[in-house]
Structure 1
Amino acid sequence: MSVDGAAPALLSWYDVHARALPWRAPPGAPPADPYRVWLSEIMLQQTTVAAVRPYFARFTERWPDVAALATADEGELMAAWAGLGYYARARNLLACARAVAKDHGGRFPDSEQGLRALPGIGRYTAAAVAAIAFGRRAVVVDGNVERVVARLFAVEEALPAARPRLHALADRLTPARRTGDFAQAMMDLGATICTPRQPACAICPLMTMCAGRATGDPARFPVKAPKAARPQRRGTAFWLERDGEVLLCRRPARGLLGGMLALPSGPWTADDPGLAGAPAEAGWRDAGHIAHVFTHFALDLRVVTALTGERTIAGQWWPVERLAEAGLPTVFAKAAERARSLMEIA
């Protein structure tokens, strides 16, 4: 099947059906603000549009441009990011903003090569910002685009090995003009019509060109290699309360949940660590367990609670009633909720 008309057909569809998103310029309009494009692309990695919208609104109100973000306090930024997950993105966000402010006069480079040199910007993000914010011809391939291309060409090779071929096929489709609109049109098509399950082929602007649809089972594309089992780890989180305040600690800058405020926690290992890593000797009481899944492992986190009158324990004592302002990462917010429910009963 010929796909020569795919780009014009998709752009015509996009002109009518483009999603209205706060970081996006309307179809055919001048490119959007590079800061807003870049910020949204970083936030959208591994995260849904619905989840990102309120974070994007709060971020752009608090830090309206890259110069403002470059001066942000790291702790405040990490707290504002809490709940979005993949916290290395937030650390890279700040490093990138500071690099743009310091080395580029507060203006983002307008080429893929220049963007790739910035902290936290990889192949996809550089292509997306170059195309959407600067109108450069760039091949933009995210998960939605991979799915559309895999179906359009009925690619039988399994992911992730198929990625180089999918990128080459996306390059073949990408027009010389309106590249940013084309990239966003591919994203919108994947998000609204060419969805992972039950694609709405009957209203797809590319249905007559789609080899996947011709097989009768487009939803089986892209083919995915079997996933390896996710390792299981165990740990303990400590809720230590004193005079209406709870002990928090700042996690090391590097590593999982780096730079975030959290409940004290011992090691996360294959075996139960018990009370290893407890911030103090106390009459620890079990508050139950919570389950949390990270990218590379699943965590069974035991929560224990205690009261103390000790005044010399290292850490930050945070008012329990204002705990929501601490910006705890999701796993520790869940642990805190479990602990508070027990403390209120006790």
Structure 2
Amino acid sequence: ETSCVAKALDFFRLIVLDPIIEAGGNPIQEHTHENNKYRYMVSWKVLSQMSDGSKDAGSTRGEAGALKAALKKVLDDAGNDQLQLSRPILRELRRVIVYSLDLDESIVSMSLFEDAISAQRTGAWCLLDALTECSTDKSFSIEKAVKASSIDTSFLTLSWKKLHSLSESTDMPSNYVTSIAGTSRACLRVIAKLGSFVPISESKQSAQSLKTTLSSFDLTPDLIGAGISALVSLSKRVCDVDTPASMRMTCSILIHEIYENCEEVLDQFISNRVVYGNASNIERVIFTVGDLSMIGFSSDEDGTNKMKDIHASDSDPIRGLHERPSKHLIHLIQTMLPPSILLNGPSGGTKLTPPSIR
């Protein structure tokens, strides 16, 4: 009912958003009233429970959708005050992310995994991810909101660097692996949306690093799609002064370079050479090929409009790019569909196709 929805939104604003808005980018002080400190931490704990890394994927998707719907309604209701509402939220999100990942090196490393800091980190990325996906009937623009907030956006790529480092660290407590993975995914999705705001020097470094990571198949399948989207966004930022045609060419070359790495790894696997021979790497290669082939597709491309011309635009020069893998790469992937693989190495023979690959 309408009254129930209105009441739920009131609670969402009161419990989740208001404490963040009140902080507005300023640290909670020691002399702050205990009740306000409690309200502030409850806000992050609620958001952290709605994040990618908190539960199974099915329930999380529903909660993420509810969060976006609630944000959309709150922003719509704000009308002409949308930027005034989003400004303190973005400033506080940036401050909390910098603090909870120790990007300013102000806390002891192991403190990153204290419950309170973890909740702030997870909750902040959850809310920022939802906010970047939030388009409203009243023309809310995350791009305008970021500009109005005047935040230093270099924290986006610095956060990814820190999260990736944490995920590879043997010192990370095992019970935080899922949380860090979910936060990493949210970070990459945000970079994909806001890459145009990252300083060019940071974009160049991060794009090269991310390309190396993807080409080495170091990302798990659940991060590959977001990683590729982030790489494209950063690459577009690096080419910001170029023409759309030049930008498309840069992305096309990038895609085919990673395709070539995929082809090399699969060739080695099917030739029965042991390099990159484990199933998890092959699985990552296949996911990478699939996500690369989706670059340039837009949400309005489906079976109902096959005859519709999809053209690039100044706002999206990559739209319609659609770089396909080589015939040989497609053949290599198809080779792994049967229960056993016919090896094309000098000794011939067959070997079982790992179930996870099929």
Higher helix share: 2
**Common topology (TM > 0.5):** no
TM-score by length of 1: 0.29
Larger Rg: 1
Higher strand share: 1
Structure showing greater relative contact order (alpha-carbon pairs closer than 8 Å, 6 or more residues apart): 1
Question: Could you state the TM-score of these two structures normalised by the residue count of structure 2?
Answer: 0.28
